[in-house]
């Protein structure tokens, strides 16, 4: 993948905001710091490497206790971190230098043919993976990842022309809204819509109206 487009970078920053460890985001999230850095889904060595230059040893050791905790366990742990504050400057440096390359790699692994897409469409999928992860596998009796698999399969279908491919990806991103409608998670609904629109904006550029 090439460098993340500015439009997709702004989209991710808009919806991730600046997270403080004592403010649990809700849902299945873990303790989240900086710009969407979820301690529930990382390993200790990675966390220490990414944040060691920016946090005190005391803060690092305390936050290590949140590694791997998600959902209710993370919510219950959050009050312990009230004394730790993440600076915007530090969060943006970790986001740009550590998180973007990592999530571009994860997106490439999830969607191996992603280079077929224009940069903004690639960035929309990076935003998606940043938010939802790269898994294609559903838990038993669940059907939460079918759109992820449909996007992967569409990219692998060489019979689809670019316009058809972009339309299919946008449609599948919008279809994911079914997971959060009526659950008070308007931020996720709005994020999926903006990602879909970012994909569709590439159609207009590739196929201008006469």
Residue 205 reports pLDDT greater than 80: no
**What confidence score (pLDDT) does residue 87 get?**
97
Tell me which fold the domain 1-17+99-210 belongs to: Lysozyme (1.10.530)
Instruction: Give the contacts of 69 (CB within 8 A, at least 6 positions apart).
Output: 30, 31, 39, 40, 77
| Mean pLDDT of all residues in 77-83 | 97
**What confidence score (pLDDT) does residue 73 get?**
97
**What confidence score (pLDDT) does residue 206 get?**
62
* Phi, psi dihedral angles at 160 (to 5 degrees): -80, 125
What are the Cα distances from residue 189, in Å, to 21, 126, 175?
A: 24, 17, 10
Domains of the chain, residue spans: 1-17+99-210, 19-85
Token pair belonging to 84: 């730790």
Q: Which residue blocks in the chain are alpha helix, DSSP H? A: 6-16, 44-51, 57-63, 71-77, 88-94, 100-110, 119-132, 146-156, 162-175, 186-206
**What confidence score (pLDDT) does residue 210 get?**
43
pTM, rounded to two decimals: 0.86
């Amino acid at each position: 993948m090439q460098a993340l487009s500015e439009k997709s970078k702004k989209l991710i920053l808009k919806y991730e905001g600046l997270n403080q460890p004592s403010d649990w985001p809700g849902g299945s999230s873990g303790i989240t710091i900086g710009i969407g850095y979820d301690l529930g889904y990382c390993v200790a060595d990675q966390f220490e490497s990414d944040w060691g230059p920016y946090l005190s040893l005391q803060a690092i050791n305390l936050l290590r206790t949140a590694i791997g905790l998600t959902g209710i366990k993370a919510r219950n742990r959050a009050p312990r971190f009230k004394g730790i504050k993440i600076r915007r400057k530090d969060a943006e440096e970790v986001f740009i230098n550590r998180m973007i390359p990592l999530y571009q790699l994860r997106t490439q692994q999830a969607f191996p043919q992603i280079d077929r897409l224009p940069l903004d469409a690639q960035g929309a999928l990076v935003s998606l993976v940043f938010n939802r992860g790269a898994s294609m596998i559903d838990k038993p009796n669940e059907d939460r990842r079918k759109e992820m698999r449909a996007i992967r399969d569409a990219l692998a279908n060489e019979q689809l022309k670019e316009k058809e491919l972009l339309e299919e990806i946008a449609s599948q991103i919008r279809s994911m809204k079914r997971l959060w409608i009526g659950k008070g998670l308007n931020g996720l609904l709005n994020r999926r819509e903006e990602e879909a629109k970012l994909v569709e904006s590439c159609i207009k550029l590739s196929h201008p109206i006469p």
